[in-house]
Amino acid sequence: MAYKPSASAVRSSEHINTITNVSSGLMRPLYTSCSEHYHAQQTNNGSRFLCLNELPRMPSPSPTRSPARRADGESPFLRLPTEIRLQIYSLLVLPRNPKDLLPSFEKVHSSTQDYYDYDKKQHGTDHSAIASLTRPTLLIRTIDPDRYKKRFPELRPEPERNKYSVRCDRFRSACRKTTYHCVNNPRIEDQLAILRANKQTHAEAAELLYGSYTFDFDTHVEAIIPFLSDLTPFARSCIKSIRFVKRALAYEKEFDRCEWSSALRYLTSSSSSIALRRLDLGIVAGRPGEHGWDRIATYSATDFTLLRQLEKMEWMQYLLEIQGLQELQVSAVVEHCPPGTNSMAMAEYIRFSASVEGGFRDYLTKQLVAV
């Protein structure tokens, strides 16, 4: 019988010939909801699938054996050294031009605190500050509820990806339903047919695909759980790098704290199958004027051992549950704030802000980065 390519996705172990089946099925557009595939195939076998691209049906097997196949049925491509196969995969699933990663930003009214993306552009240019081929980044953002409603009216079927509610009015008092999207989807969809070849190539290419990108959520931490839970455990286990931003402590509400704690608990839960190796953490830091930190006494790394136990600093506890990091980046996302003379709470916030790239970064690095 002729070789029939399978759509099952597997993950290779230490040896190529040792393979574990983790998912299978048709493919849909990159970084869309894997639950789309789940619902589409639920009537067949009820299994959950890793959706990477929508591809045409495979041709019917030929009644004659292809001369390119060995007697044992192994593909000539799989007989290539692993290093060469990985180079081929990288040409297919990774961007070739930095312009392919430039985002299409839009104003998001879901929160008055993050209606724009921090570090949106490089200074004096139209290029994204994170459009890099050495460390490609995918920007996952919440869709504006107004745009979501126009794209998916009541008469049109809603997307199968996970949906959630966000605070969307001026005073952040009302909730509206929406979902997430990638604002800089790279131009690699046409090359993802390699993922449909067979089990082994799917596992190898998918691991390179998810492991090479940094998934950036910025302040849209409410999108972390919906996006990651739409992936299969195999896909989540391949993710190695994530970026997100902690909203300004001086202005956060109770739902901000709930979104933060839920997202961090999901990232650190063993049932999520996520093993991060790199974390890029941004902290919205308030500075009263250009020289507002010049005479501010900053906290040291030792001070944060005590500060973590104080009220309103419990958000640090969830960060400390992240283990096994090999690289940690902590940066202050600076924005203007009132002077510290207005209130004691604002003065404390300014002092903490001035310490983000000093004592706070040193403290987290000591706690989280594996030696």
Reported confidence tier of residue 282, pLDDT bands at 50, 70, 90? very high
- Which pair of structure tokens corresponds to residue 122? 């490089």
Q: Which residues on adjacent β-strands are paired with residue 180?
A: 142
- Which pair of structure tokens corresponds to residue 28? 């849909």
Answer whether residue 49 shows pLDDT above 60: no
Judge whether 322 and 268 are in contact, CB under 8 Å.
Answer: yes
Nearest to 304 by CA among 295, 313, 292, 293: 313
Q: What is the DSSP secondary structure assignment for residue 193, as one 8-state letter? A: G
118-150 tens-digit pLDDT: 656 655 556 666 667 778 999 898 888 878 888
The whole-number pLDDT of residue 286 equals 94
In this structure, the dihedral spanned by the alpha carbons of residues 137, 54, 163 and 144, taken in order and rounded to 10 degrees, is: 60
The whole-number pLDDT of residue 29 equals 40
Query: 24 — phi, psi (to 5°)?
Result: -160, 165
CA quadruple 155, 189, 117, 234: dihedral sign = positive
Judge whether 314 and 321 are in contact, CB under 8 Å.
Answer: no
Q: What is the mean pLDDT of the chain?
A: 77
For 249, residues 6+ apart whose C-beta sits below 8 A from its C-beta are 284, 312, 315, 349, 352
Q: Write the CA distances from 81 to 76, 88, 240, integer angstroms.
A: 11, 11, 24
Q: What is the DSSP secondary structure assignment for residue 48, as one 8-state letter? A: -
323-368 tens-digit pLDDT: 899 999 999 999 999 998 878 999 999 999 999 999 999 999 999 9
Residue 309 CA to residue 295 CA, distance in Å, equals 26
The whole-number pLDDT of residue 290 equals 84
Report the SS3 class of residue 325. strand
User: What's the pTM value of the predicted model, to 2 decimals?
Assistant: 0.75
